[in-house]
Amino acid sequence: MNAIQNIEQEHLRLDMPQLKSGDTVKVYLRILEGEKERIQIFQGVVLRLHRGTTDATFTVRKVSDGVGVERIFPMHSPYIERVEVVTRGKVRRSRLYYLRNLKGKAARIKPLDQK
């Protein structure tokens, strides 16, 4: 068991910020186009965290041209250049699936009071 943990430890990224559901984040993604590499930003609300070691993921939802888009990112993927937390959100549950049924003003999340 220990050996497995050692292997997983080597693949973990320790530079990732502590995310929580409701946070608005910018995910800087490395995109390979042929030989060239560029950075693409995916900004949205963290809908859920799937905790774990190398299999940890987080789901980010954004509304693009009126269409909801959700992407699931492996937390420790080398394809993520970095993740930036824009705002911390104040939410009362860990899985924000209710956002899928809300639009416009109703789908906003209050920022966490920094008191």
Spatial separation of the C-alpha atoms in residues 5 and 70, rounded to whole Å: 30
| Token pair in block for residue 73 | 């990112």
**Cα dihedral sign, 82-112-72-64:** negative
Name which position in 40, 41, 55, 64 contacts another protein (CB under 8 A): 55
In whole angstroms, the minimum distance from the beta carbon of 113 to another protein comes to 37
Lookup: tokens for 32: 């390979």
Q: Which of 64, 79, 86, 103 binds another protein (CB under 8 A)?
A: 79
Residues at the contact surface with another protein, assessed by CB under 8 A = 1, 3-4, 6-8, 11, 30, 53-55, 74, 76-79
